[in-house]
Structures are given as C-alpha cells and as structure tokens.
C-alpha cells in the first residue's frame, strides 16, 4: 500500500499539471471502487478549476474554485498519472480528469480499493474528521505522544500507527523510526518516558522527511504512460531485513508479528 511519502511524492508530481487548470470533462469507466464514485461527479467537476492539490494523511485533496473538494485515496494498488500523449486507457484505468491544457489526470487501480469522493467540507468528512496531526506539522512532538500514551498497554508500534494518534506512519516507517529511536516495538506505549518520545517523534519526522526528499529527487514517470510512478529506492535499516545483521551492531535482526504486521527490530539496539 502506498504510504505517506509515496502519496506526497504523487502530490508533488501531479500538482504542477493540475493546479490553476480548468476541468474540461470527467470520464468514469468503473465507479465501483472501495466506495462507489458519485453518479454526479462529472456534473460537479466539469467547468471547475483546481485551485490546489493538497494532502491530508494518505488522502489527496483536489480543492476546487467553488469550495468543493475531491477526496482521492490510492488504496492498495492505485496510482495517478498525468497523460499528455493521448495514450488509450488500459484495463484498470478507471477515471480520467480531462484538463483544459489537453492533458488528463488518470487513475489506475487494479484492486479497486481506492476512492474518488466529493465533499463540500472535507475537514468534516467521516474519512478525515478525527484524524491525528500530520507527522511533519509543528503540533506533532514527543509531548503529544507522551500525553496520548498515558496508561496505555498497547505496543508502541501499534500506537504510532494509529491514525487517531498521528497520521501517515505506516508499517515500513514505523519499523524504521523505532529503530532510529532505539525503542523496542513491543514496549507498552504507556511505559515510555517523555524524553524517549521526543526522540521517537524526531525519528518519525526524520524518516518521513528523508523518504519524501528521496522521492522528490527521483520524481519521474508521472507524465505519460510508460510505467508506474517512480517512487524512491528505499534505504531501509530494518524493514524486510529479518535475520540479517543489524547495520549498527551486527546482531541478527528479529522478525515478529505485531497487530498482524511484519515487525523487524534489533534485540540489542532497541529496548
């Protein structure tokens, strides 16, 4: 599933092609996504101008000039591409947003777990209301984590992956941030000091920022149809490396399941 850095990389890739562009038409080839695409989506969007392409958690938000917003989620396998060469749609190309530039924003989703919804007030939409802070926002810090963790026996890895606590910390980056902060993923969230939560918040911020930066430096293939969006080549310290030596101390990394998700950690460096 695309995580926050991949979604932010997508936002950065499509925004220059979509912002300040008028929507000339909408083609919905298959509206049976995770939630049905609204029947009146074309009517609501045609003629409107995309003022901003924003992101909230793993949702992309196309803010329009009439105050409405299109909420897009990539689901398990979705991608957005800007098509400028009039390439014909392929099997899983479900939605096209034609722009007045002659290009179109094309949504591809083989598993159809993504969504395209319209909202007059996205902040109050059920998908977005109640979400925790953005991990790169000023209000996210160790004090926030320590306060919410008080009295909780939940493993800290599951705690930081809870989107009510902080958004966008998916499985890969939870593994990496906990390793960077030296915190065992099974440690109870309520038994971690404020100082260690400060380190964890900084590790989350650093890990996601580095991933976004790497995505930006390798940004390509968002235009035309010669493959999937080119996300970044990840330099992972622990995720996917169970049984291999720790990059810090050479101790074999251990792999367990927490919340039914693969979790890799160093038994020597993380406590």
Catalytic residues: 2-3, 58, 261
Tokens 């926050």 sit on residue: 4
Tokens 């939940």 sit on residue: 154
Tell whether 152 is in a known binding site. yes
What SS3 string covers 64-113? ECCCCEEEEECCCCCEEEEECCCCCCCCCEEEEEEECCCCEEEEECCCCC
C-alpha dist (Å) from residue 250 to 16, 26, 175, 247, 254? 44, 54, 17, 6, 12
Task: Kindly compute the dihedral angle of the four CA atoms of residues 197, 200, 204, 205, in this order, to the nearest 10 degrees.
Answer: 70
CA nearest to 255, candidates 173, 185, 154: 185
d(CA 194, CA 26): 50
Helix (H) or strand (E) holding 195: helix 194-217
Annotated binding site for DNA: 92, 111, 152
């Amino acid at each position: 599933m695309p995580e926050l850095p991949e979604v932010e990389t997508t936002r950065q890739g499509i925004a220059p092609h979509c912002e300040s562009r008028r929507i000339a038409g909408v083609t919905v080839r298959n509206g049976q996504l995770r939630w049905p695409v609204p029947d009146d989506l074309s009517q609501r969007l045609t003629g409107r101008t995309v003022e901003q392409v924003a992101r909230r958690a793993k949702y992309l938000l196309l803010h329009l000039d009439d105050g409405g917003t299109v909420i897009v989620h990539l689901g398990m396998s979705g991608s957005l591409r800007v098509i400028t060469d009039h390439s014909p749609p392929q099997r899983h190309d479900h939605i096209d947003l034609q722009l007045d530039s002659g290009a179109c924003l094309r949504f591809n989703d083989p598993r159809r777990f993504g969504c395209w919804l319209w909202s007059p007030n996205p902040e109050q939409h059920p998908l977005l209301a109640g979400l925790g802070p953005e991990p790169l926002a000023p209000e996210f810090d160790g004090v926030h984590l320590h306060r919410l963790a008080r009295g909780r026996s939940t493993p800290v890895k599951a705690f930081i992956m809870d989107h009510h606590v902080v958004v966008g910390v998916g499985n890969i980056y939870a593994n990496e941030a906990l390793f960077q902060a030296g915190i065992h993923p099974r440690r109870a969230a309520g038994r971690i000091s404020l100082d260690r939560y400060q380190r964890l918040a900084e590790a989350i911020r650093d890990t996601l920022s580095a991933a976004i930066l790497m995505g930006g430096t390798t940004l390509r293939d968002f235009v035309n149809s010669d493959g999937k969006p080119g996300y970044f080549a990840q330099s992972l310290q622990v995720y996917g490396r169970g049984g291999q030596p720790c990059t810090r101390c050479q101790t074999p990394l251990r792999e367990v399941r927490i919340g039914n998700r693969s979790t890799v950690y160093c038994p020597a460096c993380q406590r």
